[in-house]
């Protein structure tokens, strides 16, 4: 019933956006206006009638389903919710796993989290609107493809600390690892061009992440990509600079 309600609510929003009235719907369905109002109020649509109304609005039922799913998606949590995630390591583990489309059984099999603990934390994530906990403990992530953590927020600070303390403690010589360090002197324009390319690379990463979510968990690996660029000089160089020779970027 919840899915039906969401579907009809999405249809009502489409009709409002297109300026289609209940009177026009009644004419299309060959029903009285009160009957149409009851249909929407009771959400008792047959597939045939739903298809007729969608045709009136110039959309397919599949478009309506995508619209319904998009309406549930979130683009960012509240800062207080990020604080809640950081304050409970198991909640954070479950959240990141769920956003990466791990199943209930995958999480249980991989982490030292008992089933009641996992259910409890999934229920918290459901209340936060980060996921939808469905029957049979199925998990549907609600984060949009452009979901972002708050810049400088609790989650970002947490992962930045992990990056500094753990990520670079590595030789980057094993399969799947790569570290590049390039230094030189660039103009402001060249700096801007490279930043645009870095943004495109980050988007490519997100796109591949979305595509690979259809693969079994055994074929996917937690992968992190760090991109950074800034006007910078080694401290030993700075120590030997003459006074007042710094150049503002």
- Domain layout of the chain by residue ranges: 2-72, 74-169, 170-249
Class of the 2-72 domain? mainly alpha
Per-residue pLDDT of the chain (249 residues; tens, 9 = 90+): 556 777 888 888 888 888 899 899 889 888 899 888 888 888 778 888 888 888 888 888 888 887 777 777 888 999 999 999 999 999 999 999 999 999 999 999 999 999 999 999 999 999 999 999 999 999 999 988 778 899 999 999 998 888 778 888 889 999 999 999 999 999 999 999 999 999 999 999 989 998 998 899 999 999 999 888 999 888 888 888 888 888 888
CATH topology of domain 74-169: Arc Repressor Mutant, subunit A (1.10.10)
Question: pTM here?
Answer: 0.68
- Joined together, the tokens standing for residue 78 give 């509240």
Cα(45)–Cα(61) distance, rounded to whole angstroms? 12
């Amino acid at each position: 019933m919840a899915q039906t309600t969401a579907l009809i609510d999405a249809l009502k929003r489409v009709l409002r956006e297109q300026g289609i009235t209940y009177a026009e719907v009644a004419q299309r369905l060959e029903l009285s206006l009160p009957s149409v109002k009851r249909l929407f109020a009771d959400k008792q649509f047959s597939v045939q009638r739903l298809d007729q109304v969608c045709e009136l609005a110039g959309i397919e039922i599949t478009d309506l389903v995508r619209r319904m799913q998009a309406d549930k998606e979130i683009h960012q949590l509240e800062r207080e919710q990020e604080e809640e995630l950081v304050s409970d390591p198991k909640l954070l583990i479950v959240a990141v796993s769920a956003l990466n489309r791990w199943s209930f059984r995958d999480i249980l099999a991989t982490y030292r989290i008992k089933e009641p603990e996992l259910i409890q934390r999934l229920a918290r994530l459901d209340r936060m609107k980060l996921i939808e906990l469905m029957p049979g403990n199925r998990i549907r992530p609600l984060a949009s493809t452009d979901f972002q953590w708050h810049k400088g927020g609790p989650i970002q600070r947490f992962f930045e600390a992990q990056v500094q303390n753990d990520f670079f403690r590595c030789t980057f010589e094993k399969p799947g690892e790569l570290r590049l360090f390039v230094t030189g002197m660039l103009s402001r324009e060249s700096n801007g061009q490279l930043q645009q390319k870095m943004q495109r690379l980050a988007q490519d990463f997100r796109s591949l992440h979305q595509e690979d979510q259809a693969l079994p968990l055994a074929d996917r690996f937690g992968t992190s990509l760090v991109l950074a660029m800034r006007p910078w000089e080694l401290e030993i160089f700075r120590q030997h600079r003459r006074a007042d020779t710094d150049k503002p970027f």
